[in-house]
A and B are shown apart, each in its own frame.
Chain A
Amino acid sequence: MNPFAATTGFLHDRVDGAGYVVNLLLRTLLVLPRIHRRLRFLLDNAFNAGVRALPVTMVVAAFAGAILAMQTGIELRRFGDTAVLGTITALSMCREMGPFITGVILAATVGSAIAAELGTMKVSDEIDALEVMSIDPTDYLVLPRVLALAVMCPLLTVLSDLIGIYGGSVIAEQNLGVSSDLYWISAIEALTSSGTVLPKEVYVGLLKSFVFGVAIATVSCAAGLRAGGGALGVGLAVQTAVRNSVILIIVLGFVVTWFFYFLS
């Protein structure tokens, strides 16, 4: 095959896909006023997302916090400065690690489930059935899912932050000789030093996870709605959803941090 044609074909598919996602997000915003009719679906979806992602998030967050404390602790020990361990773990958990791991886990558990569910609906004509009943799939299917993750991702992130910091404290106390009191005091001090009602690290992290939640749900819905060609198509939709979600989590995470810490 002509490599030029292959490249333009690839680019065309990517741009086409991105255009679909942006379009879907805009249409979802447009139907936002109709959410009062979808409250039950919203609650169902939020609950499901929480139940699916909670156990994994807790385990991964605890280990992430522990790893963070170990990695920085090894270096800090050389300078005899392990007292700042609480500060460093708390800040990196809230700013970056908490939202990041929550996002990735949501993409893998809930995003994939959304793509599979909508993809199956697509290939078994259920999306067409909605259209025939003049029911807009954006309003009926996409809106409750996007809002559910927009709410659940920050909630789970708060939990990951706490559990991560706790995971760090265990390592700090057991392996690095930092007393639990000192660890927690320095952690809380670090988080309250910005002087705003909600500490900056926390609200930037929460905003980030809100953006992640919206992105994961939109990308996964789009992948499902564009599924084609039977069971194979559903499998590909799941793959697309998880891959695109993870890419977006990394890129958007960078953009938000950059915006709040370097631009302003």
Chain B
Amino acid sequence: MIELQDVYKRLGTRDILRGLTVTVPKGMNFVLMGPSGTGKSVTLKHVIGIFKPDRGNVRVDGQDVPTMDQKQLMALRKRMGYLFQNGALINWLSVADNVALPLREHSQMSRTDIADRVHEVLELVGMAHAHAQFPPNISGGMKLRAGLARALVTNPEYVLYDEPNAGLDPIISQQIHELIAEVRDRLSVTGLIVTHSRACATQCGDRIGILESGRLAIEGSVDEIVHSDHPLARAFMGIGSD
């Protein structure tokens, strides 16, 4: 379970988070929506300990994240995958080397075991054919899928998705949404998904929260949000959104 409780965070001169409370129960995909620049990415970075809150609590499975030492953080990060906006692949490594990176650096696995595992996840995201390509030469959708493979390669219990369909055409988006839902159902991964897309929220989400001015303006099950009269819910989920 991921819990953010009354989190405040100031970056530079701006208060980004102002009393944000989010709970993501195990086995669910929680969708975090909200206008650009409201701190959605910042929220994800709190969960994995890149940012520490000025006030409030961040807990994963009851463990306090901000007070963790380097070793505990490493253990936490091993159990968590992170799909960054645009994939955040290392440009001078091939797709397969990018995916292998977390295993090469920190596991005792043999070369062949790593190669097998990399092939397995690349197959899962439909990227096995492109394993030898380099990030500057592949499309945005392929980068995202490779990024997702890298996030999944360590068999995480949690995955944080930062705009998994930004800039993708509807067909590729659809594939990514199905993939995220599949990751939850087949691998029982708990997900926290940041997105602007109604399709993404309804197809792979279980609960939705909409962020405004640093806290959740509205939260509920997918059905509740889709049928809500709240102006933000209508803006993000209504006809003509997406």
Contact = CB atoms under 8 A, between A and B. Distances in A.
Given A132-B82, A134-B106, A126 B90 contact: yes
Contacts of A194: none
A139 to B, nearest CB: 10
A129 B82 contact: yes
Contact of A129 (B74, B78, B84, B105): B84
B105 A128 contact: no
B77 interface: yes
B102 interface: yes
Contacts of A44: 92
A124 interface: yes
A124 B84 CA distance: 9
B90 A133 contact: no
Nearest to B75: A134
Given A125-B84, A128-B45, A133 B102 contact: yes
B86 interface: yes
B84 A133 contact: no
Given A126-B89, A129-B84, A135 B74 contact: no
Contacts of A129: 82, 84, 88-90
A125 B48 CA distance: 14
A123 B206 CA distance: 31
A181 interface: no
B105 A134 contact: yes
B88 A133 contact: no
Interface residues of B, number: 22
Nearest to B106: A134
Interface string A134-172: 110000000000000000000000000000000000000
A132 B77 contact: yes
Contacts of A133: 77, 101-102, 105-106
Given A131-B50, A134-B78, A125 B101 contact: no
Interface string B188-201: 00000000000000
A134 B77 contact: yes
B88 A126 contact: yes
Nearest to A140: B105
Given A132-B77, A134-B78, A125 B105 contact: no
Contacts of B63: none
B85 interface: yes
Interface in B76-105: 77-78, 80, 82, 84-86, 88-92, 101-102, 105
Nearest to A130: B90
Contact of B101 (A128, A131, A135): A135
Contacts of A132: 48, 50, 77, 80, 82
A129 B82 CA distance: 8
Contacts of B82: 129, 132
Given A126-B90, A128-B50, A135 B105 contact: yes
A134 B162 CA distance: 19
A140 to B, nearest CB: 8
Contacts of B105: 133-135
A156 to B, nearest CB: 23
9 contacts: A124-B86, A126-B90, A129-B82, A129-B90, A132-B50, A133-B77, A133-B101, A134-B74, A135-B105
Interface of A: 44, 121, 124-126, 128-135
Given A128-B88, A133-B102, A134-B105, 11 more contacts: A124-B86, A125-B86, A126-B89, A126-B90, A129-B82, A129-B84, A131-B50, A132-B77, A133-B101, A134-B74, A135-B105
**10 closest Cβ pairs, A-B complex:** A129-B88, A125-B88, A125-B84, A134-B74, A133-B102, A132-B82, A126-B88, A135-B105, A134-B77, A129-B84
